[in-house]
Structures are given as C-alpha cells and as structure tokens.
A = this chain, B = another copy of it.
Amino acid sequence: KQVVLLPGDGVGKEIMQSAKVILEAISNEYGYSFTFHEHSIGGDAIDKYGVPLPQQTVEACKEADAILLGAVGGPKWDNISAHNRPEKGLLGIRKEMGLFANLRPIKGINALLSASPLKEEFIKNSDILIIRELTGGLYFGEPSERRDNGNSVVDTLFYRRDEMERIIDKAFQQAMKRSKHLTSVDKANVLESSRLWREVVEEKRQEYPEVEVEHLLVDAAAMKLITQPNAFDVIVTENLFGDILSDEASVLTGSLGMLPSASMREDHVGLYEPVHGSAPDITGKGIANPLGMILSTAMMLRHSFQMDEAATEIERAVNYVLDLGYHTPDLAKIGQKAITTKEMTDLI
C-alpha cells in the first residue's frame, strides 16, 4: 500500500513518527507492506515552496492509496494574507481529492472520563460518529467577495442535490453498521439549503427502513451534545455546521488529543488526521499525545485497506495502555503516569 505522509506543522512531525512505528509493527505482524512517501503541506510548504499546497504534494496524494496528515498551522504564519495561509493546504487537498465525507468518532474512554469537563453521569456511555460534508457549502461557494467599494460582503452557501445525496447515503451506511440511529442536523426553519437537505434525508430513509431518523436544528444540536451526548449515534450535517459541532463534541470526553478523523471519497482512498491542532506550545518537546494520530492510522487500516483485524488490535492496545494508567502530559489530570510521545508509542 502506498501511503503519503503529510506531517505538516508543529507537533505534526513528532506524531507522524509514531504512526510510522505503529505501521511498521503491524506490517511485521501481519505481513503487510506499506511504502511511505513524505510530502509538504501547510506552513512547512509555505516555508519551503512559498505555497501551502505544492503541486508535487497534490500529485503524490492522487497516486496514493491513503494519506496520513499530522497538523497544519501555527502562529508563525498567522499574519500571512488569507489566500496563502497554512489552512488553505488542508482545504485544497480536500477539494482536489474530492474527500467529501469527514468521519469523526467521539467515544468516552472510561480511564479518561475524569478529565472531561462534563459530569460523569452526563458523558458516560457516549459513542458518537459525526459525519460532516467536507467539500461544499459556505467553504467553497461562489461568489465570496467584497462589493460596493468594500462596503458590503457576500459568501455563498451552495450545494448540489447529489452532493447532499452522497454524504447522507454514507451516513445511513454507517448508521447500519452501528446502532441504526441517525440524527440529521440542519437549520430548516431558516435556510433553503437545509430544507432541501431535509428532503434528501426523507428520500434516502426509504432505502434504509431499519434506521431511525431524527431531524434536529443546529442550535438544538449544540445544546443536546452537552445535555445528552449519549442520546446520539450517527450525526450527519453540512460542512460549516459539522465544523462547529464536531469541534464542540471533541472536548466533551476530556481527551481531545486522542480523537482521530477520516476524510473519504466514494472509493476507499482517504485522508486520516488527528482532530487536535499543531500545538505550537509543546512542539519539539517530545510530549505530544500520539494517540489521535495512532487511532487515525487505525481508521486508515479499516476504511481504506479493509485491514479490520489490525485496526482493532491497535485500538485495543491503546485502550489497554490507558487502562494501565499511562498517558501523555495533556491528560495530567487523570493520574501520575505521564510519559513521552515515544514511550507511549513504544508501549502501544
């Protein structure tokens, strides 16, 4: 399998090293073979090539079976003009590769619940999969421009019906593999795009009669994630709502550093990255939490390579090490066994 590695910025390089170690262990154990191709993205690419997404990175990704990404961005590039910022690399690769389906699983891990901002009775037993549309909506709609000599401004929330259909179909498929409950989030009392979205959900559910479907307004969803996170199974929503809600959900369990994500298209090619950012404050110290990256690697094995057994083994190893009480310093609240990135990786 050809795997493109995009370490990116900040702790991205350190945690990408962990991904490699884990994949090498897996290939030894199972006889798989992974070939790594490392390329630049984000601030790192701006420094080296002057742009956040160099052409050779795009080309390598297009040849790959899967992509692992560390993190992009950092204060060093914060004052660069909007059109050449590190994040443009991330938005660009999603669009160039057509990675329309962002999968973000959020599961409370018992050993870590004491680090959650939520009381245990609220957060326990939560197991949510947020599915966010990733290549449409306000992120890419045109026009997006100043008007009237800069005295007004417009952005455009545009969706094609088939863009809605494919992400909603993906969500139903995932719901079928889980508890068969799907919450579709929109703002149908205000937005025409949300009303079309709701119609598409209503059409699709005919194909999946076993799945229980609930529609929730985005403001109500933002509340319910906090008051009843364990009432959710799969959540599907458009790009910007997904950005906000998945980040909101990511802090509920108290272990942001552990959360993985996958960005997929219709075939099995995907880009996998931890949910946390580049963490400039701890970069270079060797203490970054590699678990988000390692669990993203497990998602790659499962979703891109159908190596379910290997994926499950990684996930069990992570839980086992956490159950023993080991953790990186970002989870210091939960006990005394704080270890480094490398120690954590070796234990897994």
Contact = CB atoms under 8 A, between A and B. Distances in A.
A243 interface: yes
Contacts of A110: none
Interface stretch (A18-26, A29-37, A192-200, A299-307): A192-200
Contacts of A316: none
A226 B226 CA distance: 9
A159 interface: yes
A187 B226 CA distance: 22
Interface in A205-233: 218-220, 222-223, 225-227
Nearest to A163: B152
Chain A interface residue bracket vs B? 35 or more
A229 to B, nearest CB: 9
A256 B223 CA distance: 10
A245 interface: yes
Interface stretch (A1-9, A116-124, A175-183, A262-270): A116-124
A222 B118 CA distance: 15
Contacts of A245: 222
A161 B151 contact: yes
Contact of A226 (B192, B218, B248): B248
Contacts of A138: 157, 190-191
For this chain, the copies found in one complex come to 2
B196 A220 contact: no
A347 interface: no
Given A144-B192, A191-B144, A223-B248, A157 B154 contact: yes
A158 interface: yes
A248 B247 CA distance: 12
Nearest to A91: B190
A39 interface: no
Contact of A87 (B85, B139, B145, B189): B189
Interface in A64-96: 82, 85, 87, 91
A152 B160 contact: yes
A190 B158 contact: no
Q: Which of A146, A152, A227: most chain B CB closer than 10 A?
A: A152
A188 interface: yes
A244 interface: yes
A27 interface: no
A240 interface: yes
Contacts of A63: none
A141 interface: yes
Contacts of A189: 82, 85, 87
Nearest to A140: B190
Given A226-B248, A248-B223, A251-B223, A161 B156 contact: no
Given A157-B138, A192-B146, A248 B248 contact: yes
21 contacts: A117-B118, A118-B118, A119-B119, A141-B154, A144-B192, A146-B192, A150-B196, A153-B159, A153-B161, A154-B192, A155-B156, A155-B157, A218-B243, A219-B248, A220-B247, A222-B247, A223-B247, A225-B248, A241-B244, A244-B244, A248-B248
Given A91-B190, A152-B161, A155-B192, 7 more contacts: A87-B189, A139-B190, A150-B196, A154-B193, A155-B157, A222-B248, A223-B251
